[in-house]
A and B are shown apart, each in its own frame.
Chain A
Amino acid sequence: MRFVVLVKQVPDTTEVEVDEETGTIIREGVPSTLNAFDEFALNAAVDIKEKTEEEVEIIALSMGPPQAEETLNKCLAIGADRAILLTDRAFAGADTWATAVTLSRALKKIGNIDLIFAGQEASDGNTAQVGPEVAAHHGLPQVTYVSEIEEVDPKEEYIVCKKERDEGHVRIKSDMPAILACMPDPGFEPKIPNVREIMKAKKKPKEQWGIEELDGQEDDYGLEGSESVVVETYSPPPKEEGIKIEEEPEKSVDELLKFLDEEGIL
C-alpha cells in the first residue's frame, strides 16, 4: 500500500503577529513546527504500517518554503519512508484552492496511492479546506474529523474509521482510495522519535519539486492561481467586560428588565 500524508509547517506560537501592510502572518523570527493535526495524521499512518502485514510506503508531502524541509525531517524520523517538498517561488501566496491544486498535481505524479492522510486543519489558517478540496480534485471519497482508523482492508479496498461529531461519533466505511482529514482526541500523545530513528531518517530519500516537475501553467499556482484575496487581517478586539447581576431570582429579573429597558433593547 502507498499512503501519502499531507503536512504543513506552521508557526510554533499561539501569539501570531500579522503584518499590518500586507495582511500576512509574520513568520520571520518565529519558531516553526509540524502542524499538530498533521502530526496526528502521520502517526495514524505509521500505526497502520506497524500493525499490518502488508508492505506500506509512507510519503510525507508538503508545500512551503525551503525551510519547510525541517518539518519533513521530523516526519521521516516519526516513520515516513520518503519526503517530497513542493517549493517554488511560483507557489508563494497560495490560498487553499491554489494549495489544493498544487498538492493534487503532486499526488497525481506520485500515483498508485491507497490512502491520503491530512490534518483536519492547520493551526495558522484554520480553514479546514485543503483536505476536502484535494478530495474534490481527485474525485475521491473523503472522511473528515477522523479520530481513529479501525480497519484497513487493501484486498477488499475499504477502510472503517471513527468520525467525530458534536453529538458523539459515527463509524464510517469508505472505499479506497480515500482521503482522511484527521483530528486527534484531546489526550492524543504523538510518537517521539528517538535518536536512532532521527539518524536513520537522515538516510531516507528527500526530494524537492518545483513548477517544472508539475503540470500546468505558472498562473495555476500561488497568488496568481488563488481564487480568494485577503482584504484585511486583524485581531478581534477583546470583549468588553460584562455585567453580572447577583441578586435573588425575583429581584434579579427586575434588575435585568430595567437594564434592557434603559439600553433600549426592549
Chain B
Amino acid sequence: MARTDLSDDRELTEEQKLFKESISDWAERNLPLERVIEMNREGYPFPEDIIQGLAELGVIMGPVPEEHGGMGLTWKDQIAIAEQIGYIDPSIATAAGFMAVETGWGFTLNRYCTEEVRKKYIQPAIKGEKFVGIATTEPKGGSDVAGFESTAEKEGDEWVLNGEKTFISGVEECRRMGGGYWVNVRTGPQIEGAPHKNMTSFFVPIDADGLEPQEPYDDAGRGSLSTSGFIMEDVRVPEEYMLGEKGKGFYHTMEGFDLARIMIGASAIGVTRRVLEEAADYIKERETFGKPLAKYEGIQFPFVERYTEMEASKLMVKKVADMADTRYDEEGWVERTGKAQTYKPTEIAKWISMIKYKVPHLAKDTADDAMHWLGAAGYSSEYIFETAWRGVMSYCVGAEGGANIQKIVIGRETLGKDYVPYK
C-alpha cells in the first residue's frame, strides 16, 4: 500500500517546493524517524552532524538579509521550511533549537546587533559553527516578560551584568559550540505600573567571565536539545554588545517572540501532518474484528477532524507569515494605512498568539489521539507518537509563551484592554 501523503503544496512557489523536497531528501539520509527517537532517548547535546547538515541545507536564519550572510528569504519561504523541519523531526527538538531559537530570534538578534556581534556570532551561527539563543525567563517568572530582576550597570565603556536566567534552550550546545544569548536586564529602576521601561537587551557570550552555565534539566520531551540556565556574576560586556536602544528591550524582545512564535506554529503543522500520516498508514493496515481500524467511525472521524483543523491552521500560519512579509520592516511591525493594510501591530500580535496557542495544542492532541488509535503500539516508543506528544507539549506549557499568555493577548484584542487580568 502506498504511504499516506497529506501534504498539499500546490500553492507553494517552485522554490518553496524544492526547499521541502531537499529537507526531506536530507532527512531520509541523516535524520530518519528512528534516529529522531534514538536522539530523544539518548538526550542532549544535539548532534553536531545534524547542526552542520541544517546549516549546509541553508535552513537556519533564512530571512536574514543576504548582505548580512543570510539568504533574504521571505517569511512565507521560512514557514515552508519550518513546517518541513517539524515534519522530519516531530520530537520538535530541531524546530525548537533551529527554527524558533536560532531563526526567529536569530533574525531579530541580527536586526539589532552591531557589526561586531554579527561577524563574531551571527554569521558563524548561520554556518552551524556557533549557537545563539534567547534567555528571558528567570527563577521568579517567565510569562511576565517585564517582571525580571537581572540588572546591568555601566562602568566606563562596559556594562556589568548580574542575575540568573533559567529554562533556557540550548545552553549545553552553546557551551560546547561557542556562541551566546540575547539577555534582558534592567538598566534603570523598575517603574511602578510600567515594568517594561528601563529594560535593555544585550548579547552575552556563553564564555564570558562570570557566566556560569547550570546543569541541564531532565525534561519530559525534546530530549536531544538541552534546557538549563546560567548565573551572571559581574559579567562584563562592551557597549557594542547592547542590542538596539537602551530602554527599548521590551519592544525588541516582543519582536523576537513574534517571529519565533510563527516558526513554532509552522513547525507544529509539520508535526501534526507527520503524526496523521504515520497513524493513517497504521489504521489502514491494522485490522480488528475483521476490518481495518480506519473503517471505524470512532477512529476515522477524529482523524478527519484533526486533519481539517490542520488545514485550517495552515491557512492561519500562512496569513501571519504574509503579515510578516508585508508589515514588518526596518521600523518593526508597522501600521500601513493603504487599502487592505489596516492591521495595527497589536492586532498582528493577536493573530500570532492565535497560532501559537492553537497549533502546538493541535499537534499535541493529534499525537494523543494517534496513541489511542494505535493502542499499545502507539504508547510504545517504537512509533513516533509519544515522542511527538512529549516534545510538542513544551510549546503548550511554555516555550515562546505559554497558552494562557497567548489567550490574554487574544482577549485583550477582542474584549478590550479593560479586561486584561494583569491590570
Chain A residues in the interface with B (C-beta under 8 A): 13, 15, 31, 69-70, 73-74, 77, 189-190, 192-199, 201-202
Instruction: Check A198/B25 contact, CB under 8 A, given A15-B2, A192-B57.
Output: no
Instruction: Check A195/B2 contact, CB under 8 A, given A70-B14, A73-B14, A189-B29.
Output: no
Q: Which residue of chain A has the shortest Cβ distance to B29 in the bound complex?
A: A189
User: Contact: A77 with B57, CB < 8 Å?
Assistant: no
Instruction: Check A194/B22 contact, CB under 8 A, given A13-B2, A15-B2.
Output: yes
User: Contact: B58 with A74, CB < 8 Å?
Assistant: no
Give the dominant DSSP class at B's interface: helix
Q: Which residue of chain A has the shortest Cβ distance to B13 in the bound complex?
A: A202
A202–B58 alpha-carbon span in the complex (Å): 16
Contact of A196 among B14, B17, B71, B81 (CB under 8 A): B71
Q: Does B303 contact A (CB under 8 A)?
A: no
User: Contact: A195 with B14, CB < 8 Å?
Assistant: no
A-B contact pairs, 27 of them (CB 8 A): A31-B5, A70-B17, A73-B15, A74-B18, A74-B21, A77-B18, A192-B57, A193-B22, A194-B22, A194-B57, A194-B58, A195-B19, A195-B22, A195-B57, A195-B59, A195-B62, A195-B71, A195-B73, A195-B81, A198-B15, A198-B22, A199-B15, A199-B72, A199-B73, A201-B15, A201-B18, A202-B15
Contact residues in B for A198 (Cβ distance below 8 Å) = 15, 18-19, 22
Q: Does B26 contact A (CB under 8 A)?
A: yes
Q: Does B42 contact A (CB under 8 A)?
A: no
A198–B14 alpha-carbon span in the complex (Å): 9
A74–B20 alpha-carbon span in the complex (Å): 12
Category for how many chain B residues contact A: 20 to 34
A15–B5 alpha-carbon span in the complex (Å): 14
A70–B15 alpha-carbon span in the complex (Å): 9
Instruction: Check A193/B18 contact, CB under 8 A, given A15-B2, A199-B71.
Output: yes
User: Contact: A196 with B18, CB < 8 Å?
Assistant: no
B 37-79 contacts with A by CB, 8 A: 56-59, 62, 71-73
User: Contact: B57 with A73, CB < 8 Å?
Assistant: no
Total A-B Cβ pairs within 8 A: 48
Contact residues in A for B29 (Cβ distance below 8 Å) = 189
Q: Which residue of chain B has the shortest Cβ distance to A74 in the bound complex?
A: B18
Chain B residues in the interface with A (C-beta under 8 A): 2, 5, 14-15, 17-19, 21-22, 25-26, 29, 56-59, 62, 71-73, 81
Contact residues in B for A189 (Cβ distance below 8 Å) = 29
Q: Which residue of chain B has the shortest Cβ distance to A70 in the bound complex?
A: B14
Contact residues in B for A193 (Cβ distance below 8 Å) = 18, 22
A15–B17 alpha-carbon span in the complex (Å): 23
A198–B19 alpha-carbon span in the complex (Å): 7
Q: What's the minimum C-beta distance from A18 to chain B, rounded to whole angstroms?
A: 16
Contact residues in B for A69 (Cβ distance below 8 Å) = 14
User: Contact: A192 with B26, CB < 8 Å?
Assistant: yes
A95–B19 alpha-carbon span in the complex (Å): 34
Contact residues in A for B5 (Cβ distance below 8 Å) = 31
Contact residues in B for A195 (Cβ distance below 8 Å) = 19, 22, 57-59, 62, 71, 73, 81
Excluding A70-B14, A196-B71, A198-B18, 9 further A-B contacts by CB distance (< 8 Å) are A13-B2, A190-B25, A193-B22, A194-B22, A195-B58, A195-B59, A198-B15, A199-B71, A201-B18
Contact of B18 among A13, A31, A73 (CB under 8 A): A73
Contact residues in B for A31 (Cβ distance below 8 Å) = 5
Instruction: Check A194/B2 contact, CB under 8 A, given A70-B14, A199-B15, A199-B71.
Output: no
Q: What's the minimum C-beta distance from B10 to chain A, rounded to whole angstroms?
A: 11
A31–B2 alpha-carbon span in the complex (Å): 13
User: Contact: A196 with B15, CB < 8 Å?
Assistant: no
| B2, B22, B71, most chain A CB atoms within 10 A | B22
A190–B28 alpha-carbon span in the complex (Å): 12
A73–B13 alpha-carbon span in the complex (Å): 11
Q: What's the minimum C-beta distance from B256 to chain A, rounded to whole angstroms?
A: 22
Q: What's the minimum C-beta distance from A189 to chain B, rounded to whole angstroms?
A: 7
| B15, B72, B73, B81, most chain A CB atoms within 10 A | B15
Q: What's the minimum C-beta distance from A191 to chain B, rounded to whole angstroms?
A: 10
Q: Which residue of chain B has the shortest Cβ distance to A34 in the bound complex?
A: B21
Q: What's the minimum C-beta distance from B127 to chain A, rounded to whole angstroms?
A: 11
Contact residues in A for B22 (Cβ distance below 8 Å) = 192-195, 198
A196–B26 alpha-carbon span in the complex (Å): 15
Contact residues in A for B18 (Cβ distance below 8 Å) = 73-74, 77, 193, 198, 201
A197–B71 alpha-carbon span in the complex (Å): 10
Contact residues in B for A15 (Cβ distance below 8 Å) = 2
Q: What's the minimum C-beta distance from A62 to chain B, rounded to whole angstroms?
A: 15
Contact residues in A for B72 (Cβ distance below 8 Å) = 199
Q: What's the minimum C-beta distance from B17 to chain A, rounded to whole angstroms?
A: 7
A198–B59 alpha-carbon span in the complex (Å): 12
Q: What's the minimum C-beta distance from B157 to chain A, rounded to whole angstroms?
A: 38
A70–B12 alpha-carbon span in the complex (Å): 12
Q: Which residue of chain A has the shortest Cβ distance to B18 in the bound complex?
A: A198
A15–B58 alpha-carbon span in the complex (Å): 33
Q: Which residue of chain B has the shortest Cβ distance to A194 in the bound complex?
A: B58
3 tightest Cβ-Cβ pairs between the two chains A and B: A195-B58, A194-B58, A198-B18
Contact residues in A for B71 (Cβ distance below 8 Å) = 195-196, 199
